[in-house]
Structure 1
């Protein structure tokens, strides 16, 4: 192996097969490596993944830091670190040029949360007389009712719906599957959508099992879900920065505030680690006070 592209392809295979990472993560890591290659070319530096030095990588990180925010810089460092660790793992290198490069500290910004009234207002604002009205209502109900990521929502299949058992099967990050409870109300709106808007479509080959379809009978894009939500927010004059993830965040927050335990929320969200789920606890310290008052023997 002598050039960057061969090593990148090998790294991509490793991430897919060995680590089971999602396509988005692999694309991000690849993009970070390509930025380094671009930097080398721009500066007429002739290095390959095996002989590139710590000094050159540090210069690249320093130059990158001038044009990106700390969270983007942290991702670049993380992506390159993983790449060079892989090269060591495969005995292509003996050292990691990223070893002494520190990831910048990032203040963890919590996304906006919607109140139940705001969620009701957004759903009520859906124009049910339009061709996509029932679909859009079902989408919002599913995002909030099941706490799905937008990528999980658009890839949801009809064969993933187990309404009699009260669950849906969700394919999450790294193609990991989990079963998420689905309430009667969400089931009702999905059924209405299936028997109205969806039944009128000319469904394209290969999309027969996809639940949420665009007007051309194909799977919706992530961007389309963002647009639906942004347009509804404008319609009700909601002065919050919201996205599909806001519904997932609100799902977890409302469960926690109403007494659900963190472990159950972790399973429903599909988080690998409970520390990821703990971000939702930081929202409302009143909840912790209520827990002490309700359950501690010396309240």
Structure 2
């Protein structure tokens, strides 16, 4: 399928060149690079044992691949995301290597429903935060961390990457780096500011911090930034401690932040700006959460319900 005189490329070299393209030309975040490479690696795992080279994949073989990953029980959302990564890979192959026929051109993503995310109510959030042991330095850090996570609606990557130099607490804003290394200013409320200051001024100041990590806000005991996995584990432990049965993650706090704003009547454009969504349609999912809330209110309080 390549152009005349083109050297046939194996999967290892194609994936490596794709990685450099994403890093240098697209300048996407490390997390996005990793996600795209995982998607193409899955296609490689399907194609390579069958003797199919990256520049020889056909639309029919891609359909077989989608059926193959469907057999692993992946959701329609996961399958659509993998296909999106593979479409980006073949766009790269067309641009860089003159691939004439793009096998993804006529492939449609699995049909998706509008998935409404799990959210916590105010009582559940208060209960989780109240379960933190404030007698330890880690507890004071965790309280500040969850107040910022919920109070600002951050992605977990934005939370662990938050810098001291990007805190503008006097004017009640923080600057975060979101997807695609795009920066945005996010308002921060008084509760989050209060606990952030306690952590920074009374706990963090006494830590031995690695020189290259001096600007990161949330640190582990070794003076390095917290990882996303560590934040996830902290939240899971709090959920277990409070007997919360919902399946939650750091992202649940972001969903809760957005849905509580929409429930309270916040302008959808303002919520979009705070969340750093590229498109308003992504933010509109929270209007569905709001409708569920309204339905529960009428069920509970209307005399005919």
Q: TM-score by structure 1 length? A: 0.89
**CA displacement at 1:195 relative to structure 2:** 2.1
State the alpha-carbon separation in 2 of the partners of residues 233 and 214 from structure 1.
21
Distance (whole Å) between structure 2 residues aligned to residue 238 and residue 263 of structure 1: 32
Aligned mate of 2:103, from 97, 104, 109: 97
The one-character-per-residue Cα deviations of 1:77-97 (angstroms, maximum 9, x if unpaired) are: 221122112222335211111
Secondary structure in 1 matching 2:137: coil
Q: How far did residue 287 of structure 1 move?
A: 7.5
- 1:26 lines up with 2:33 in the alignment: yes
Name 2:78's counterpart in structure 1.
72
Q: CA RMSD in A?
A: 1.9
Question: Counterparts in 2 of 1:119-138, with a 5 A limit?
Answer: 119-138=125-144
> Is structure 2 residue 41 aligned with structure 1 residue 3?
no
CA distance in 1, matches of 2:192, 2:31: 28
Query: What does residue 295 of structure 1 align with?
Result: none
The corresponding residue for 1:208 is 214
Aligned match for 1:36, one of 38, 43, 52 = 43
Unaligned runs of 5+ in 2: 1-6, 296-305
1:261 equivalent among 260, 267, 273 = 267
Please list the CA deviations of residues 167-222 of structure 1 after superposition, one character each: whole Å capped at 9, or x if unmatched.
10000011100000111221110110012221232112211111000011111011
Distance 2:120 2:176 in 1: 23
1:235 Cα deviation from its structure 2 partner:
1.2
Structure 1 unaligned runs (5+)? 290-299
Q: Once the two structures are superposed, what CA deviation does each residue of 1:144-184 show, in whole Å capped at 9, x if it has no partner?
A: 11110000000101111011121100000111000001112
CA distance in 2, matches of 1:38, 1:4: 10
Aligned length: 287
Moved over 6 A (4+): 286-289
Deviating more after overlay: 98-107 vs 216-225:
98-107
Per the alignment, residue 154 of structure 1 pairs with 160
**Distance apart, 1:232 and its partner CA:** 0.9
Give yes or no for contact 2:120–2:256 (8 Å, CA) kept in 1: yes
Instruction: Provide the residue aligned with 1:57 in structure 2.
Output: 62
2:90/2:104 contact within 8 Å kept: yes
